[in-house]
Amino acid sequence: MIRVVIADDQQLIRAGFRALLESEPDFDVVAEAATGAEAVDQVTRHRPDVVLMDIRMPGGDGLWATERIAADAALAGTRIVIVTTFELDDYVAQAIRAGASGFLVKDTEPTELIRAVRVAAAGDALLSPGVTRRLLERLESGLRAPQGHTSLEPLTAREREVLGLVGRGMTNTEIAVRLFLSPLTAKTHVSRIMSKLGARDRVQLVIIAYEEGLVGGW
């Protein structure tokens, strides 16, 4: 089961997300929160696999809550997907800096939301091509690759190829199909790349791929 916490200050939104997720046999909504402080409390208490986090909430907003959850080593296994009505560049950059694993807008199709939760639970980052494009454009405003990253020299040719596909927002399954690999092999490549480059998550790999010129042709 994929355990989920829903954090949004609108009860109707929370109820809608709960109904959608619980219609799937592998989802369990373990708690809801209406404020940032409640979100931190519920996540600390239940340690879910995924948090659906609104940005604008009273009592500490979603970015504040995301930073605190991401900074807690005991919650390292929890992935945060920002779900908001605001599709502004600043929110994308701030959410990624705060430690979010994905970013979706609230008018996302229900099937895409369900896929987003599964992707995040599997350890992948979820950034749609449009969001990825805006994220990369924000690089000139202070969003940078992780400290300690110097070059791609430690990577093999295959790993560089995989990194380029990660930079385009592909999941492990999509990379496996593109390169005629098994999903496990693709996941192993991504894990090794993260280790070699000192990246915290796939989103930082997107940034590195951009800075090293592996992403183009949007």
Number of structural domains found in the chain:
2
**What's the whole-model pTM score?**
0.72
Determine the pLDDT at residue 210. Answer: 77
Listed ranges 121-135, 166-180, 197-211; the one with the highest mean pLDDT? 166-180
Each residue's pLDDT tens digit, 86-128: 655 566 667 777 788 877 877 788 998 898 899 888 876 666 5
**pLDDT for res 86:** 61
In this structure, what are the phi and psi dihedrals at residue 5, rounded to the nearest 5 degrees? -115, 135
In a domain, 135, yes or no: no
For range 5-20, the mean pLDDT: 95
In this prediction, residue 145 carries a pLDDT of 53
Q: What is the pLDDT of residue 140?
A: 46
In a domain? residue 208: yes
Where residue 217 falls among pLDDT bands split at 50, 70, 90? very low
> What pLDDT is attached to residue 182?
95
DSSP assignment of 26-90: TEEEEEEESSHHHHHHHHHHH--SEEEE-S--SSS-HHHHHHHHHH-GGGTT-EEEEEES---HH
Neighbouring C-alpha atoms within 13 Å toward the C-beta of 208: 30
**Residues 118 and 157 both lie in one domain:** no
CATH number assigned to the domain comprising residue 163 = 1.10.10.10
Q: Note whether residue 139 is domain-resident.
A: no
In a domain, 217, yes or no: no
Pair 111, 32 in one domain: yes
- pLDDT value for 107: 79
CATH number of the domain bearing residue 74? 3.40.50.2300
Give, for 166, the enclosing helix (H) or strand (E). Answer: helix 157-167
| pLDDT score, position 215 | 75
Tokens 């099937």 label which residue?
111
Angstrom distance (rounded) from CA 36 to CA 62: 6
- Nearest-angstrom CA–CA distance, 161 and 169: 13
Q: Which domain holds residue 183?
A: 148-212
Q: Is residue 52 part of a domain?
A: yes
